Amino acid sequence: MVDDAVRPMVLGEANHPIQDRLENQIGWYDRKSQNAQRRYKILKLAQIIIAGLIPLVSVFPFPEQRWVTAVLGLLVLIIEAVQQLNQDQQNWISYRSACEALKHEKYLYLAHAGPYANAENREKQIALLADRIEGMISREHAKWVSAQEQMIARNRGTASHSMPADEGRAAS
């Protein structure tokens, strides 16, 4: 089911390109948020179920018990690594927040409320809408880039701490 905010802004009226961009961005952030949420919940549920199986498997003795326990533990580790690499929970929240902020801006524009109440004509409202939504999109992109850089730096820091002392000095 598509949210009303994803439908065209004003029925029967040709949209300005910035209105089309707003609609496209709302749709993009909405889809990305839903995908990230779905992926996060599926992986987290799988991780919980597999982790719960580890003590259960250890209670019932059978010939390959050690291997099954080891494989289950490895699966939990792999799922956690995938979650850390993809950052689905953080992306879900970030994308949802951006989508809702864009919808809010859209509703202010349509109601001629907030900053749009004082605009003298439609062209000034459109210009203000363009300025505000492009600013939101730009800030969201900057936050995403910053988060990626922090994750890379964190991963490099973790990797350098796990190197033996001699290898760490040789690389410097």
| Angstrom distances, CA of residue 99 to CA of 18, 23, 68, 91, 172 | 16, 10, 43, 12, 44
Domain boundaries, the chain: 21-158
The pLDDT confidence band at residue 159, using thresholds 50, 70 and 90, is low
The per-residue pLDDT of the chain, averaged, comes to 86
**Tens of pLDDT, residues 97-136:** 999 999 999 999 999 999 999 888 989 999 999 999 999 9
Top pLDDT among 145 and 155 is at: 145
Q: Among residues 115, 98, 22, which one has the least CA distance to residue 9?
A: 22
Instruction: Reply yes or no on whether the pLDDT at 55 is more than 70.
Output: yes
What pLDDT sits at residue 102? 97
Residue 119: exposure state from Cβ atoms within 10 A (0-12, 13-18, ≥19): middle
Contact 82, 43 (CB under 8 A): yes
Q: In this predicted model, what pLDDT tens digit does every residue of 62-94 receive, in sequence order? A: 899 999 999 999 999 999 999 999 999 999 999
